Every structure is written in structure tokens, then in C-alpha cells.
Amino acid sequence: MIQYKLKIFSLIELLVIFAIFGVLASLLSSSLKSISSRGRQAVCFNNLRNMGYATSVYLSENEEIFMDHRRGDYYNWHDHLLKLDIGETSFKCPERGDEWESRKTPGKTLPVITKTIPKTILSALHLMPYGYNGFWLGYSPYGNPVSGPLGRNFTKLSDIKYPHRMIVISDSQISTADTWASSIWYLNKFNNEGVSAVHQENTSILYADGHTSSEIAMEVNQNPEWDRYWKPYHN
């Protein structure tokens, strides 16, 4: 009769096996999160391309002049695009969800909006998932429509020297006062009102020529080499 010996694992061997499985599970989880994040960013790229197409239509109908950053409390740049039947879903970032976490009051949440709602709190907050390069591109209440601050309001498409290197729209950050997020504001890009690291450390960007890219948000906000990408008349 053949006798079989039962192999009994020692405690050390079991611990090593569990440790190996733990490392593999951790690596797999990290990979799945990365793949999932890239998938959500692909949705963002599609959103931005839709905005880029609608922006090109707007420009063709308005003498190549870019839309307003905002007009008072009741009208934002994205309202122009909504009138072109772009659809609200194109303004919804899958990485954001339906709420912002407040900067001003940690733990508090505020609703994400996709259009201006006149005479309500949602007309003043402007908590959009995406921000417009309003400092350089569109007229805002901070200057007059002829010159504006630094003479930069009402930029025309023909004013942009390198459209493939001019930021138009990107993932945005909520302001410190919880008042708006519908713009990426050039002057304050070094602290908290530039592009946002939504997709892990990356931000999604739409350029004036209609193409999109994923960039490290900190680089776009703080590296002087990126200044040219914000300004129409850069070198």
C-alpha cells in the first residue's frame, strides 16, 4: 500500500504566502485604479473636444471673438455653448461627482452646476468642473470691453499666435472663497485658481486649435515655461 504524506505548511510559510498575496493585491489594485482613472479622463477629453467644437461654432458666428468669461452674476461662458446644443452632460466630469468639497469650510459640500441659474445661489457660485482661460480670452466685469485689465479682453482667434499652445479650457479648482470654479485665473494660478489635478496629478486641457492633452497640473500652474500657453501673444 502506498502511503501519502500530508504536507503541512509552517506558520512562517503561511505568513510569507499571505504577504505575497497582499503585495500582488496591492499592485493589482493600483493598476486597476490607474486604468479606471485613465478611462474617466478619456471621458473628459471627449467633453473638452465637444466644447472645442462648440467654441469653434461660436467663434464663426461672432467674428472670431471668444465668449465672455462671465457677465455679472447671471451669465457664464458655458451658457454660450449650451445655446449651441452641446448638452449639459459635456460639462460633467466623471472624476468629480455631483459635489465639491468646500475650501472655505472643510467637510462641507457644495453642488456642482453645469449652467447658470439666474437669481439663485447657483448663479453666483459658478462651481463648474471645467474652467475657462477668462483672464486672457473673454470680457469680464473686471475691466471695460474696449481694453480691460492689461488690454487683454475680447481676444480674437486671429490674435492667438500659436493656437496649438494656447490654453482655452481645462479641469478647474474651486476658489478659496467658494465663489466660483468656472475659470482658470492666470494671476492666481500659482496658488489655488489655476488648473486642477483631477486625474491623479494630471489635468485635462483643451487648446485653441481643438486638440486635448493630459499634463501635470503643478507644471502648468507653476513652471514659467508654461506661461506662454496661457497668453495669446506669446513667443
Specify if 10 maps to a domain. no
Residue 44 lies in a domain: yes
- Between CA 230 and CA 58 the distance in angstroms is 20
Residue 82 lies in a domain: yes
* pLDDT tens per residue across span 161-199: 999 999 999 999 888 888 888 889 888 898 888 999 989
Query: In terms of DSSP H, where are the helices of 117-202?
Result: 121-124, 134-137
User: Across residues 59-68, what is the average pLDDT?
Assistant: 90
> What's the pLDDT band for 29 if we cut at 50, 70, 90?
low
DSSP three-state, residue 14: helix
For residue 5, is it within any domain?
no
Q: Is residue 192 part of a domain?
A: yes
Cell numbers linked to 127: 462651481
Number of domains in the chain: 1
In a domain, 12, yes or no: no
Per-residue pLDDT at 30 exceeds 60: no
Choice between 7 and 76, residue whose per-residue pLDDT is larger:
76
Cα atoms in the 13 Å half-sphere on the side-chain side of 60 = 7
Q: Does residue 234 lie within any of the structural domains? A: no
Buried b or exposed e, range 48-61, using 16+ CB within 10 angstroms: bebbbebbbebbee
On whether residue 2 sits in a domain, the answer given is no
Read off the pTM. 0.80
DSSP designation for 94: T
Range of the domain at 204: 17-229
